Amino acid sequence: MVAVNVFSNLPAMQREFSKLEKKTLNLIQRNAMLDAAFRTQKVLRLTSYPKAFPDAVNKGHVKAVTTLGASRGRKQLSRAKLKERIQRALSRGRRADIAIFDATNQGRGSDYMLRHAKGGRKIPIDGSNIAVPTRHLTAMARGVRGIRKSMRPQQVLAQRKRGGKQGFVTKINGHTMIARRETKNRLPITPLYSLVPAADIPGRFKFYEDARVYRKLFAAAYSKEWQFRVGSKISRKYLSKF
C-alpha cells in the first residue's frame, strides 16, 4: 500500500492573502497598468501612425504622437512619477487611472493627432481663409518639421521685402491661390497654397480603435505579474510536497 498525505495550512494562507490585499495586489495592479500602457503606446506609435501616414516625411514625429500621464489636466509624467501616483491612488482608494493622449506640440493642447483621429473641419482662426499646401509645395519644401518656415504663407508673401522670390495672391483655374514666379519673367508661376474658407480633415489615425488593445495587454500583464508574485509563492510556501 502507498499512502499519500496532503497538508494545506489554510489559516496561514488566509493571513498571507490579507497581506497580499494590502500590498502585493496593488503592486501587481500598478505594474500591469504601466506595462500595458507603454505597450499600447508602442502599438499606436509604431503600427497605427505609419498606417495612417504612410508617406510621412518626418519619421521622427512618431515620438510625439502619444504620451502617458494623468487623465486630469492631461499632464505628462515620467515613468517614476506614474509609478508613484498609481501606487498612492491604489493605496488610498483601490482605484487609479492612467491616460494616453495627444503629445504633439508638447501636449499643450494643439490636438493635432486628435483631429486626425476624429476628423472634422478646420476653419480659419484669424482671417477668412486657410492656406492648404499644394502637392508641388510639399514635394519641394517639406522638411523634418513640416513645411519649412521660409515657405509658409506669411513668409512667402513677405519675400519681396527681403529681396526674395515674389509671392502673391492670384486666381488659377477659378481657385484663389498663393503663387510665386521662379524667374523674372511673367510666366511661369508656381502655385504654392490654395486659399479656402474651410478644410475637411478625414479621420484616418485609428487612435481609439487601436488603443483598445490595452485591455488585452493588461490582462496578459496582470496574469504574468500574478504568477510571478503570488502563484509560485503560495504553492511553494503553503502546500507541502507529496
User: Structural domain boundaries of the chain?
Assistant: 10-119+202-238, 122-199
Show Cβ contacts of residue 50 under 8 Å, excluding neighbours closer than 6 positions: 56, 62
* Residue 169 CB neighbours (<10 A): 13
Q: Model confidence at 236, in pLDDT bands (50, 70, 90)?
A: low
* Cβ atoms 103, 67 nearer than 8 A: yes
Q: Where are the alpha helices (DSSP H) in the chain?
A: 10-19, 25-43, 49-52, 79-93, 112-118, 135-141, 153-157, 207-211, 213-226, 232-238
Sort residue 109 into left (φ over 0), alpha (ψ -120 to 50) or beta.
left
Q: Is the pLDDT of residue 163 over 80?
A: no
Q: Model confidence at 64, in pLDDT bands (50, 70, 90)?
A: confident
> What is the pTM assigned to this prediction?
0.68
* Residue 149 CB neighbours (<10 A): 11
How far apart (Å, rounded) are the C-alpha atoms in residues 99 and 141? 36
**CA triplet 43, 115, 98: central angle to 5 degrees?**
50
Q: Model confidence at 229, in pLDDT bands (50, 70, 90)?
A: confident
Tell me the pLDDT of the chain averaged across its residues.
79
pLDDT at 59: 63
Q: Is the pLDDT of residue 66 over 90?
A: no
pLDDT at 215: 94
pLDDT at 125: 76
